[in-house]
Amino acid sequence: MVNGLFANWMLNLSEEDVGTYVGSCHCGLVKFRLKTDIGYSVRCDCSICKKRGTIMVRCDVNDLDIFEGKEHLSRYQFNTEIAEHYFCSRCGIYTFHKMRKLPDKFGVNAGCLEGVDVFTLKPIFIEGSKR
């Protein structure tokens, strides 16, 4: 896959394309609010994303606020233990993860976001398995 596409994922969000969204897990224990550009989404083939199968949007760490149920989030780490993968301890849904390459960004499960039809997203495929 083209390197430039991955580079885009790394860029800072441009203010004009950013909107505010509310997200939740399936059972609703965990609720969060974030700013993101929904026009830029990805799927990734790294060992965990491949199995998770989620379309992700990105968000600055400071632009995500867990306003309900933070205590119900579980954290999963593996390998270098730099990335932090969060999921609801009750329903198991992946909500977001702190990225290994960019620890000041979250990848966020686009399917968790209210008002977002994931079928209308056009995710770019990035080869996280090679990084």
Q: How far is CA 119 from the centre of its chain?
A: 17
By beta carbon distance, the residue nearest Zn ion is 88
Question: To the nearest whole angstrom, how small is the minimum distance from the Cβ of residue 30 to Zn ion?
Answer: 6
Which C-beta is closer to Zn ion: that of 23 or that of 128?
Answer: 23
Which C-beta is closer to Zn ion: that of 64 or that of 88?
Answer: 88
Give the residues lining the site for Zn ion (CB under 5 A).
25, 27, 29, 88, 90-91
In whole angstroms, give the CA distance from residue 36 to residue 76.
23
Whether 109 contacts 56, CB under 8 Å: yes
Among 53, 45, 66, 122, CA closest to 94: 53
Question: To the nearest whole angstrom, how small is the minimum distance from the Cβ of residue 105 to Zn ion?
Answer: 23
Which C-beta is closer to Zn ion: that of 31 or that of 43?
Answer: 31
Whether 73 contacts 67, CB under 8 Å: no
User: Which residue bears the tokens 């600055």?
Assistant: 60
Question: To the nearest whole angstrom, how small is the minimum distance from the Cβ of residue 126 to Zn ion?
Answer: 27
Which C-beta is closer to Zn ion: that of 27 or that of 102?
Answer: 27
Question: To the nearest whole angstrom, how small is the minimum distance from the Cβ of residue 90 to Zn ion?
Answer: 4
Q: Point out which residues pair with 108 in neighbouring strands.
A: 57, 96
